Amino acid sequence: MSRADGANREDGAVAGIRSAAAGTATGGAGANLLALRSHNTALVLDLLRTAGSDGISRLELAERTGLTPQAVSKITGRLREEGLAAEAGRRASTGGKPRTVLRLVPGAGHAVGVHLDRDEARVVLCDLAGTVLAEARSALHLGAGADAVVERTARQVEELLPGARGALLGVGVALPGPLDHARGVLHRVTGFPEWDGFPLRDALARRLGRPVVVDKDTNAAALGLAVAGEGGSFAYLHLGTGLGAGLVIGGSVHRGARTGAGEFGHQVIRLDGPVCGCGDRGCIEALCLAAVARGDLAAAARVLGTGAANLVGLLDIDLVLLGGRTVAAAPGEFVRGVAAVLAERARRKGTPGDPIPVRLAAGGSRGVAQGAAQLMLAPLFGRRDG
Amino acid sequence: MSRADGANREDGAVAGIRSAAAGTATGGAGANLLALRSHNTALVLDLLRTAGSDGISRLELAERTGLTPQAVSKITGRLREEGLAAEAGRRASTGGKPRTVLRLVPGAGHAVGVHLDRDEARVVLCDLAGTVLAEARSALHLGAGADAVVERTARQVEELLPGARGALLGVGVALPGPLDHARGVLHRVTGFPEWDGFPLRDALARRLGRPVVVDKDTNAAALGLAVAGEGGSFAYLHLGTGLGAGLVIGGSVHRGARTGAGEFGHQVIRLDGPVCGCGDRGCIEALCLAAVARGDLAAAARVLGTGAANLVGLLDIDLVLLGGRTVAAAPGEFVRGVAAVLAERARRKGTPGDPIPVRLAAGGSRGVAQGAAQLMLAPLFGRRDG
DNA sequence: CCCACTTTCGCAACGCTGTTGCCAAAGTGC
DNA sequence: GCACTTTGGCAACAGCGTTGCGAAAGTGGG
């Protein structure tokens, strides 16, 4: 069995090649040289992005990727030719030639993120680093019909475009409710049956003449957090007018085959409990929002924490992030309450190590729109669907 | 932005390269040519395995992988040289030279799977195709101490080894309870505190002089089912003396950073419900087993179904498989009951498409041991940790 | 039976990947 | 000022999948 020689690897690097089968035909997952280059380039680009304005040296890139310094030199050479990377000074010498620091050129590419919330539209223009360069907000009336909303959104996007000196990669759109990420079709928009099955991605792409990607708001927010540096696997729990989750597993957003993943609000945690709007009984969302409505934030946090603990146990994730308007109104209360439930359950199970941390999600009310822009940017850095 | 040219790919093939970063150094996820070859070889090998004794032609391999026919010829040529693949007749002509059929040579490699259950040890010898060539069972007394169990298990393994004419890849061990898959260390064995922190993998590997991998029984069972052909993402729910789950996401077992994923039995689904053995209240396991104890299988199935529906909603998986002694005692009842809850929830949510199917897991009482053997075999076919 | 055609599949040349060997450049420190 | 260390580019290289082409092995019409 000489086939084993390629298999004995350590765990981190084992997750190496899967994202890069670019350049091959449609069907399988076979990888060719173009795919290889694409993968390694994305990896280097992601490290440059993460390093930010501090920059990162070639040798450090080599260490982090496991590639040889010479390979990194070739890759960064191409990136510099394309204008995506640039030299940015040098580090202090350690007894020899000092390392040259490289950094990402943020202005080399841009993307627009659109957040269609229930009553407000928010559009941001971001550069490659994810920095918001321009922003616009306006009231949103879904009842005006799909065509009107598409037209109005398109105009808002176009108003921001002059801010993008570099190329525009495309537009990412995030909105609540069930939809098909792969096809860009909305399944249903609560309260507006005329939207059922609307092909938002294609409609907006045709109107703008640019690539468009559509995703759930919770997924966009989670992607934004992942790109912003939250490593490993985590859950973003969004408690606003509803309750939903975005799951990041191994750095990629987990959507499931039907973009249905993250259905957190209607997890049943009290069998035969009070009836929820969905028709079921004892859903987290109903229990949690009822507690909020009667002002009992401790109870709301405990309910949320129970659901979070179920999720943490099921997926063994590393971190829980909380967000949404309701959480933002009393962040400490929710973070402490959820953390307490998690700590209590971890104590009971006696698992070694520290309990799973709970934090308030960064990004605030702009997080979803920024994450929506990342729907177009993240693939450049090797982050695809989980 | 000429960087985009490598990025515009379709979704299926996008998942291409990640598993193959073999041959590089320790840290990152950079991929080199050896990794590329390793990945594509594993892909071809997996298709050969899946095709079974029917075999598969080179051109079909090319279509399925997205590689060119010539690349497939080179890869299968290497595999034939190494004795892993062989020609197996030819197909009917379609007007030209008939396609040559290739098949996996199952005897080219073997692995041993060990299932340490609470009261019984089960050892199987499998070939590359996963076929069980030899089997042994014996009573297991964990109270005899770690050294005695390791020694006894090692002897059982050695007794089966003569059945492996080809090379032995190693031994996979599956057992219940929390453990560290990456390090091969048991955290805790219920009822036997002397096992706490025992480095089972290293102890058995030293004794046998062969590679050993350790995993939870539910994960092994799920891996076995995945390799046996259950595609996509699914959950294996095991209801025996306890209740646990094995999660397969995108063809790979999802373990989480601490091998803790699949903690399903202690998901709380009835807040303030009856006290469970774990100290919490309203755990699925407690509710389900209590219902079984009082003979109310319909209630047990409903509880299990509620947990399954939570899981399906959270992860958007494609399939639920049921197994374990308790399920095996009344499979129809459980399958129907769980399916009914899933169908009801799907109906309420009004999601398009068929409801998620529920089936009895194949493999029966031997499934875990076979899955344990796959812990060693599956990496050859490109299946690594999710 | 022969010949044109189709289809499979291997050989050889090729382009491109990361790798290796080597050396110039650019510092430190005695 | 010189020895040394460290960085990083140039050039040659091995090996990957790809392309061009032709031999092999069938079918089917004349």
pLDDT in tens, A235-281: 999 999 899 999 999 889 999 999 999 999 999 999 999 999 888 99
Return all residues near B298 (Cβ < 8 A) that are at least 6 apart.
Answer: B333, B337
Q: Comparing A18 with B113, which gets the higher pLDDT?
A: B113
**Residues of B with Cβ-Cβ distance to A231 under 8 angstroms:** none
Average pLDDT, chain B: 87
B82/A3 touch (CB, cutoff 8 Å), yes or no: yes
Those residues whose C-beta lies under 8 Å from the C-beta of residue B382, and which sit 6 or more positions away, are: B19, B20, B39, B42, B43, B45, B46
Q: Closest to A29 (Cβ–Cβ): which among B43, B45, B166? A: B43
Say whether the CB atom of A267 is under 7 angstroms from strand D. Answer: no
Asked if B364 and B328 touch (Cβ cutoff 8 Å), the reply is yes
Residue of A229, A177, A174 whose CA lies nearest to A359: A229
**Are the CB atoms for B133 and B163 separated by under 8 Å?**
yes
Strand C nucleotides within a 7 Å radius of protein CB atoms: 5-12, 15-21, 24-29
Nearest CB to A13 within list B17, B28, B309: B28
CB contact under 8 A, A351 and B260: yes
Query: Burial level of B161, CB count in 10 A (0-12/13-18/19+)?
Result: middle
Give the Cβ contact number of residue A314 at 10 Å. Answer: 25
Where does residue A82 fall: left (phi above 0), alpha (psi -120 to 50 degrees), or beta otherwise?
Answer: alpha
The whole-number Å distance from A32's CA to C5's C1' is 33
Select from B315, B344, B345 the residue whose CB has the most chain A CBs within 10 Å, as the one to mutate to test that interface.
Answer: B315
Mean pLDDT of A223-236: 93
Highest-pLDDT range among A5-9, A117-121, B334-338: B334-338
Task: Output the CA–CA distances (angstroms, integers) from residue B306 to A196, A270, B357, in the order listed.
Answer: 28, 10, 15
Of A43, A262, A380, the CB nearest to B28: A43
Least confident of A161-165, B81-85, B153-157, B286-290: A161-165
- Name the pLDDT band for A6 (thresholds 50, 70, 90): very low
Q: What whole-number distance in Å separates Cα of residue A161 and Cα of residue A147?
A: 21
Predicted pLDDT of residue A385: 65
Higher-pLDDT residue of B333, B163: B333
CATH of B18-104, one of 1.10.10.10, 3.30.530.80, 2.30.30.40, 3.40.50.300: 1.10.10.10
Closest CB to A4: pick one of B169, B232, B287: B169
Q: Which residues of B touch A271 (CB under 8 A)?
A: 269-270, 273, 282, 287, 303, 306
pLDDT for A30-64, tens place per residue? 888 888 888 999 999 999 999 888 888 888 888 88
Q: Distance (Å, rounded) from C-alpha A106 to C-alpha A86?
A: 10
Q: Which homologous superfamily is B109-221+367-381 in?
A: ATPase, nucleotide binding domain (3.30.420.40)
In angstroms, the CA B268 to CA A118 distance is 32
Mean pLDDT, residues A347-372: 88
Q: pLDDT-based confidence at B386, cuts 50/70/90?
A: low
Nucleotides of D under 7 A from a protein CB: 4-11, 14-20, 23-28
- Comparing alpha-carbon positions, the chain B residue that sits nearest to A72 is B30
Instruction: State yes or no: pLDDT of A152 exceeds 80.
Output: yes
In this predicted structure, what is the pLDDT of residue A386?
60
Please report, rounded to a whole number, the percentage of residues in chain A having pLDDT higher than 90. 61
Which among A177, A179, A174, A368 has a CA at the least distance from the CA of A259? A179
Query: Which residues does residue A253 pair with via DSSP β-bridges, in sequence order?
Result: A248
User: Residue B385 above 90 pLDDT?
Assistant: no
- A–B CB contacts, 8 A cutoff, strictly below: 369
What is the 8-class DSSP label of residue A287?
Answer: H
Strand-pair partners of A167: A109
Q: Could you tell me if B104 and B84 are in contact, meaning their C-beta atoms sit under 8 angstroms apart? A: yes
The answer to whether residue A126 scores a pLDDT higher than 60 is yes
Q: How many Å apart are CA A237 and CA A331, to the nearest integer?
A: 13
Rounded to 5 degrees, what angle do the CA atoms B228, B232, A382 make? 125
Strand D and A98 CB separated by under 7 Å? yes
A30:B24 CB<8 A? no
Residue B52 CA distance to nucleotide C3 C1' (Å): 40
pLDDT tens column, B92-117 = 777 777 888 889 999 999 999 999 99
Tens digits of per-residue pLDDT, B110-154?
A: 999 999 998 899 999 999 999 999 999 999 998 888 999 999 999
Strand C contacts in A 34-53 (CB under 7 A): 34, 36-37, 40
Which tokens hold the place of B382?
Answer: 């490109």
**Which pLDDT band holds residue A120 (cuts at 50, 70, 90)?**
very high
Residue B16 pLDDT greater than 70, yes or no: no
**CATH classification of A13-104 is 1.10.10.10, yes or no?**
yes
pLDDT of A2 higher than 60: no
Q: How far is CA A326 from CA A293, A299, A329, in A?
A: 10, 14, 5
**How far does A311 lie from chain B, in Å, by closest CA?**
8
Check pLDDT > 80 for residue B7.
no
Query: What is the arithmetic mean of pLDDT over A202-226?
Result: 96
In chain B, residues with a C-beta closer than 8 Å to the C-beta of A235 are: none
pLDDT of res. A28: 66
CB burial class (10 A; 0-12, 13-18, 19+) of residue A20? Answer: buried
Q: Is the pLDDT of residue A14 over 70?
A: no
Q: Do domains B109-221+367-381 and B231-361 have the same CATH topology?
A: yes
Nucleotide nearest to B99 (CA to C1'): C8
Which of 3.30.420.40, 3.40.50.200, 3.30.360.10, 3.10.129.10 would CATH assign to domain A231-361?
A: 3.30.420.40
DSSP state for residue A250 in the 8-state scheme: T
- In this predicted structure, what is the pLDDT of residue B370? 97
User: Alpha-carbon distance B316 to A182, whole Å?
Assistant: 14
Q: Out of B28, B258, B314, name the one closest to residue A66 (CB).
A: B28
For residue B169, the model assigns a pLDDT of 92
B341 three-state secondary structure: helix
Max avg pLDDT among A273-287, B19-33, B338-352: A273-287
Contacts of B314 in chain A (CB under 8 A): 245, 247, 261-264, 267, 311, 314
| Alpha-carbon gap, residue B219 to B372, rounded angstroms | 9
Q: Grade residue B321 by pLDDT with cuts at 50, 70 and 90.
A: very high
We find that the CATH architecture of domain A109-221 is 2-Layer Sandwich (3.30)
Please report the pLDDT score of residue B97 as a whole number.
79
Angle, alpha carbons A286-A291-A295 (nearest 5°): 145
Q: Where are the domains of chain A?
A: 13-104, 109-221, 231-361
**Among chain B residues 82 through 101, which have CB within 7 angstroms of nucleic chain C?**
90, 94-100
Using the CA of B87, which nucleotide's C1' is the nearest one?
Answer: C9
B186 has a pLDDT exceeding 70: yes
**Which chain A residue lies closest to B34 (C-alpha atoms)?**
A6
For residue B339, the model assigns a pLDDT of 97
Predicted local distance difference test score (pLDDT) of residue B28: 66
A345 vs B35: CB contact, 8 Å cut-off? no
Estimate in Å the CA B65 to C1' D25 gap, whole number: 26
Single-letter amino acid code for the residue at B124: V
Q: Where are the beta strands (DSSP E) in chain B?
A: 56-57, 85-90, 100-104, 109-116, 120-127, 132-139, 167-175, 179-180, 185-186, 212-216, 234-239, 243-249, 252-253, 319-323, 358-360
Return the pLDDT at B23: 38
Q: Quickly count: other Cβ atoms within 10 Å of residue A116's Cβ.
A: 25
Nearest residue on chain A to B271, alpha-carbon basis: A270
Which residue of B lies nearest to A379 if distances are taken between CA atoms?
B7
- Kindly tell me if the per-residue pLDDT of B18 is higher than 60: no
Label residue B2 by pLDDT band (50, 70, 90).
Answer: very low
Minimal Cα–Cα distance from A138 to chain B, Å?
A: 30
Confidence of residue A99 (pLDDT cuts 50, 70, 90): confident
CA distances from A128 to A288, A311, A370, A371, B171 (A): 38, 32, 12, 12, 47
Strands (DSSP E) found in B226-378: 234-239, 243-249, 252-253, 319-323, 358-360
> What are the pLDDT digits (tens) for A300-335?
999 999 999 999 999 999 999 999 999 999 999 999
* pLDDT per residue as tens digits for the range A295-309: 999 999 999 999 999
For C29, nearest residue by CA–C1' is: A95
Q: What is the dihedral of CA A197, A201, A206, A212, to 10 degrees?
A: 180
Which of A21, A188, A260 lies nearest to residue B316, judging by beta carbons?
A260
